């Protein structure tokens, strides 16, 4: 993947879209520019959890402006992620296709815990590298992330279903603020935190840190009104609560330090933070300048420097489910060798596709931990539904398709659920992986011969040394059976024994 000196990260949040442009220098990130627009994507979900047309247009207009700023930055140096609203929206795929056309870059949907990991990474790089555990809290438009970590590694990550946009719609209808509604919002926040309360209190922390716009806004109000010297305190939250309830309506909120564009969601964000402070017995919280988008930049730097957290996730999943590594590596090595022979002619010459094939090969037998019967289906389920740090949902789905499709029938229905421009490439990767798995069916250390694989259109020709297939009748039978599966997928497999 091409990358250059300049990097960019875009966070498609439920309340605001954020972008940062930076340059890398000596393994560090130097921020050059930042843009933020309040899009309120979360408010555009209708009763059927579909993004309405007006919200989509507002979002696309914003991305058009972002696209102008990142023009010229290589594709491999830009990461764009969608969070809670795009995780929920039933028409997210259609919107993403339009958004990618505007931006000229891929958009990843990250799971809640992956979002939390990236937030912690951004926060950790903005703070002093002190020993001791810290609690990081980030209140977004549709979800709230709570993380415990030390230095640059998160140890506990959680994403809760509450956010300042969703709580505003739920508790402060039409901008009305009552004491009863505020207390109900606080209670709802405490109920969400209750599920992690015991574990987080057991682990403990020496420092509580807040990230992103909502907590920054609350901190600004507390400091400007003299309710705290720095950051957020429980005493400051109590005073802010009184002022907010006294106002009665959002449009009558007149707090020193509160920006106009934050007014509508300030009561709901305040209630969520109040509930978190109460439930976790927090007295004081400092505020970080880093968050999700900075975490994306540092995660990108790690990939450039061969410190890709996704590699650790694959190895961890293999260990957790006792994958036979010798067999996985045999299949992987052969698959990558075959891939290199057809990558150019099959338009697969892409680092992302190569990584997907390698990960799929390493995990192709992970489902054996569940059952031998239909283990390819069990494996696909495990890959799809496991928390894999570093992976987007789309990346996990692509690897799962390869695991599902390495044996038996080709997963044509699963492929049809993917974007049109990805289906052919993943099907072809499936075919390469299937050949490798068949060639190593015997699970032995016998070195397979050098083979020549050629691709022309929808035809694959696999050429063996003279008489090798005759001397290995079981492998020949496997490959002849594979020819039937290829035909069902619209491909032809030719076996050549010179």
**What does R_g of the chain's alpha carbons equal in angstroms?**
26
Give the pLDDT score at 174: 93
Give the helix, strand, coil percentages of the chain, each rounded to 5: 55, 20, 30
Give the pLDDT score at 129: 75
Pairing of strands 492-497, 459-464: parallel
CA distance 481 to 374: 18
Length of the chain counted residue by residue: 498
CA distance 133 to 149: 6
CATH superfamily membership of 6-110+295-301: ATPase, nucleotide binding domain (3.30.420.40)
Q: Are 293 and 18 in contact (CB under 8 A)?
A: yes
CA distance 402 to 328: 14
Largest CA distance in the chain: 89
Give the pLDDT score at 4: 65
Residue 259, CA distances (Å) to 225, 253, 288, 462 in order: 14, 10, 19, 66
Domain ranges in the chain are 6-110+295-301, 127-288, 308-447
Q: How many Cα neighbours within 13 Å face the side chain of 50?
A: 5
CA distance 314 to 390: 10
CA distance 482 to 486: 6
Buried (b) or exposed (e) across 250-275, using 16+ Cβ within 10 A?
A: beebebeebeeebbbbbbbbbbbbbb
Cα dihedral 137, 141, 143, 147 in deg (nearest 10): -20
DSSP codes joined into one string, 221-282: HHHHTTS-SSSEEHHHHHHHHHHHHHH-BGGG---TT--GGGGGGHHHHHHHHHHHHHHHT-
pLDDT by residue for the chain (498 residues), tens only, comes to 455 689 999 999 999 999 999 998 776 788 999 999 999 999 999 999 999 999 999 999 999 999 999 998 998 899 999 999 999 999 999 999 999 999 999 999 999 999 999 999 999 998 877 778 999 999 999 999 999 999 999 999 999 999 999 999 999 999 999 999 999 999 999 999 999 999 999 999 999 999 999 999 999 999 999 999 999 999 999 999 999 999 999 999 999 999 998 999 999 999 999 999 999 999 999 999 899 999 999 999 888 877 889 999 999 999 999 999 999 999 999 999 999 999 999 999 999 999 999 999 999 999 999 999 999 999 999 999 999 999 999 999 999 999 999 999 999 999 999 999 999 999 999 999 999 999 999 999 888 999 999 999 999 999 999 999 999 999 999 999 999 999 999 999 999 987
Give the pLDDT score at 1: 46
User: Of 23, 67, 60, 9, which is closest to residue 39 (Cα–Cα)?
Assistant: 60
Q: Are 119 and 145 in contact (CB under 8 A)?
A: yes
Q: Is 407 helix (H, G, I), strand (E, B) or coil?
A: coil
What is the CATH architecture assignment of 127-288? 2-Layer Sandwich (3.30)
Please return the burial class of 128, using the count of CB atoms within 10 Å of its CB with bins 0-12, 13-18 and 19+.
exposed
Beta bridge mates, 286? 209
Give the pLDDT score at 207: 95
Q: How far apart are the first and last CA of the chain?
A: 37
User: Of 112, 108, 81, which is closest to residue 9 (Cα–Cα)?
Assistant: 81
Give the pLDDT score at 28: 76
Q: Please state, as a whole number, how many other Cβ atoms lie within 10 Å of the Cβ of residue 328.
A: 19
Q: Are 493 and 462 in contact (CB under 8 A)?
A: yes
**Residue 106 Rama label (left phi>0; alpha psi -120 to 50; beta):** beta
Q: Are 439 and 431 in contact (CB under 8 A)?
A: no
Q: Which two tokens stand for residue 235?
A: 């005493």
Q: Answer yes or no: same fold for 6-110+295-301 and 308-447.
A: no
Give the pLDDT score at 447: 86
Q: Which two tokens stand for residue 203?
A: 């682990």
Pairing of strands 232-233, 284-287: antiparallel
The fold for domain 308-447 equals: Hypothetical protein af1432 (1.10.3210)
């Amino acid at each position: 993947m091409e990358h250059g000196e300049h990097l960019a990260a875009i966070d498609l949040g439920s309340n605001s879209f954020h972008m940062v442009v930076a340059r890398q220098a000596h393994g560090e990130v130097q921020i050059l520019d930042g843009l933020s627009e309040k899009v309120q994507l979360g408010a555009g979900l209708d009763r059927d959890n579909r993004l309405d047309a007006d919200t989509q247009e507002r979002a696309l207009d914003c991305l058009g402006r972002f696209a102008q700023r990142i023009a010229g930055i290589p594709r491999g140096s830009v990461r764009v992620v969608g969070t809670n609203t795009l995780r929920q929206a039933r028409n997210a795929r259609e919107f993403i296709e339009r958004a990618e056309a505007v931006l000229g870059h891929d958009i990843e949907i990250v799971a809640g815990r992956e979002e939390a990991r990236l937030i912690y990474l951004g926060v950790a790089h903005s703070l002093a590298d002190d020993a001791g555990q810290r609690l990081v809290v980030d209140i977004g438009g549709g979800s709230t992330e709570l993380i415990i970590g030390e230095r640059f590694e998160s140890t506990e990550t959680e994403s809760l279903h509450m956010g300042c946009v969703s709580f505003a719609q739920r508790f402060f209808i039409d901008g009305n603020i009552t004491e009863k509604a505020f207390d109900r919002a606080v209670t709802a926040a405490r109920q969400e935190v209750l599920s992690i309360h015991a574990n987080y209190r057991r682990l403990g922390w020496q420092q509580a840190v807040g990230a992103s716009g909502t907590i920054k806004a609350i901190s600004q109000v507390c400091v400007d009104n003299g309710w705290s010297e720095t950051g957020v305190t429980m005493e400051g939250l109590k005073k802010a609560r009184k002022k907010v309830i006294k106002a009665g309506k959002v449009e009558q909120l007149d707090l020193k330090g509160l920006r106009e564009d934050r007014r509508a969601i300030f009561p709901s964000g305040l209630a969520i933070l109040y509930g978190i402070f109460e439930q976790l017995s927090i007295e004081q919280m400092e505020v970080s300048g880093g968050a999700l988008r900075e975490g994306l930049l540092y995660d990108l730097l790690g990939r450039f420097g061969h410190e890709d957290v996704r590699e650790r996730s694959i190895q961890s999943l293999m260990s957790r489910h006792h994958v036979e590594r010798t067999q996985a590596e045999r299949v992987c090595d052969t698959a990558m060798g075959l891939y290199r022979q057809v990558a150019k002619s099959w338009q697969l010459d892409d680092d992302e596709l190569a990584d997907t094939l390698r990960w799929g090969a390493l995990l192709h037998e992970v489902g054996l931990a569940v059952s031998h019967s239909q283990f390819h289906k069990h494996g696909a389920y495990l890959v799809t539904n496991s928390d894999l740090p570093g992976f987007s949902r789309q990346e996990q789905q692509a690897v799962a398709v390869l695991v599902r499709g390495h044996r038996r029938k080709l997963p044509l229905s699963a492929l049809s659920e993917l974007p049109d421009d990805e289906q052919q490439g993943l099907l072809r990767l499936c075919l390469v992986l299937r050949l490798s798995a068949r060639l190593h069916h015997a699970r032995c250390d016998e070195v397979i011969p050098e083979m020549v694989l050629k691709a022309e259109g929808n035809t694959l020709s696999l050429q063996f040394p003279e008489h090798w297939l005759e001397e290995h009748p079981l492998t020949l039978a496997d490959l002849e059976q594979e020819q039937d599966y290829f035909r069902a997928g619209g491909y032809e497999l030719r076996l050549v024994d010179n």
